[in-house]
Structure 1
Amino acid sequence: MRPAVSQFHSVESRERHAAAYQHALGLLPGDFEAHDAETAHGSIRMYCGGPRTAPPLLLLGGQDSPGFTWFKALPALIRAYRVLVAEPLGEVGASQQRLPISDAQQSSDCLAQAIAEIEPAGRPLRIAASGASARPALALARRAERRVSGLLLLDPWGFGAEAPRTGARRLAAGLLAMLPMPVRSRAAERPGFEQLAIPELAGYARAILPFQRALPAVEPIGFNDFSAPEPAIRLLISDRKLRQPQRQWLIELSRQHPSVRWESIPENAESLALSRPDLLSAALLRR
């Protein structure tokens, strides 16, 4: 039976996760500070770095992608932005979910509350969101269209009516992380498993196996999730996901919403922060 909120199933597994999380936290650049923002459904952990006067950029990881998984791209990004790295409620990490979340709108409401606390000036905000965070990011852009100046979606789950598969990659990564380093290094060459080549992240992949995710199933993204007028939206999609129906869906999306652009890349876009931080930084530094 699925729990009401996302959690570890025992005190021991929660403590193992806390130790692995603290170890992996050393990957973040030293000038990042942790903040916990209270929301209606729990506290959201944000790591903030870069000049306080720079334009704000919000980074939202997908499933099993806490803030430190962006560490390779952060040094380039903090030269141009005040970077806010959020760990969404209900996902594994340091955010603490206390009440159930029923849909993407509630997730985006919580994100809006956290942003208002951490970045109260109301300056235009750019957002980069991967995987499961795409829907809350789109909902946030709709509810605060004057606040969001641009949106970059990395392999959003469920685009073009393709339903995402959840849990399988976490299990595979956790099991592979238990193998000797030579085997892990070969596995790390596969898209989506780059973390296995990084000892801190491989250890973390083992520690999160007992985590029980209690967020609602991700609904496919549809044309109605995009509104007009809207901020400029760019989608980076792994070419391995672009079968003909998905490609046609994206072409029609761009026709209906001219502010939406998409690009296929020969990488796992959801894992760009680890596999190609240069490509991710270039996409975000492009005005």
Structure 2
Amino acid sequence: MKADILTAVINIVESRSYNLKDVYIRTNRANSMGDALEKYVVDSFANTFFEKDEEVRSRQIGEIFSYIGNDSNPPDGMLRNGPAIEIKKIGSRNAKLQLNSSSPKVKLYSDDPRLTKGAINAEKWTVKDIIYVIGFVDKNNTLKELALIDSSLYCAENNLYEDVFNKIKDGVATIENIDFSPTRELGRVNKIDPLEFTSLRIRGMWLVDNPFDTFSYVYEPEKEAVFNLVVLVPSDKFKSSPNYKRLLELEKITEELEIVDIVVKDPDNPAKLINSKKIVFYVSKTTA
């Protein structure tokens, strides 16, 4: 069955897996907690949390993902015939997301100059939705909270960010008496000193409020839980998912799982509201 945002929810709820340190650090499949979170997210979509045979695990991941990325280029992953995935780890619940030189995106296009050939050629595609996955990992390397957010509820249209970026680049280029070279970042000022061997690299750093802050008007974690999961998805995407009936059945037999109808502010026009589903799940101290 095609994997989507609900696939990860079902696998996390059924497995009740959330311990990064035991599952990933112990098995040496991760060199850092950022890597551990990325592997956890991959396993949540591929349902490979407890697969010890690395060959079997890799094969199963390959059936779900057409592309697994790197730290330098977006995206972090692409579901086969499905959305792209961006994964970010934060060390405190109110920390901002650092997207570096890649601006927020509501859609990922195959002609994005920041993409690698591996992503472009991974499958036949031109545009993908995006799932933003944000994990709050505390100082004890424990995954305390995880958010899966459909990009249409989180990001404005791509051209809004691109227009600001280009205006800044154009503004720098008009400064008198500098030798400016445009780059994929903002640009570079060349030949600054008399010997002409010094240049200044100009790079943007996009910062975004994390979903726990952005959507605090519709979501609060279960305070006594050791792990919280929140998922926000437009109602029409929820109902069109091949997995939604299975998730509804799972809700009936899982006390800690709840699916609620909400409205979310449209990122392009806050006066407009988007009918959405909020999916919350928690693991309590007594059942952990």
Shorter-chain TM-score above 0.5:
no
Which TM-score applies when normalising by structure 1? 0.31
When Rg is computed on C-alpha atoms for both structures, the one with the higher figure is 2
Q: Answer 1 or 2: higher relative contact order, Cα 8 Å, separation at least 6.
A: 1
Higher percent of residues as helix: 1
Alignment TM-score, normalising by the size of structure 2? 0.31
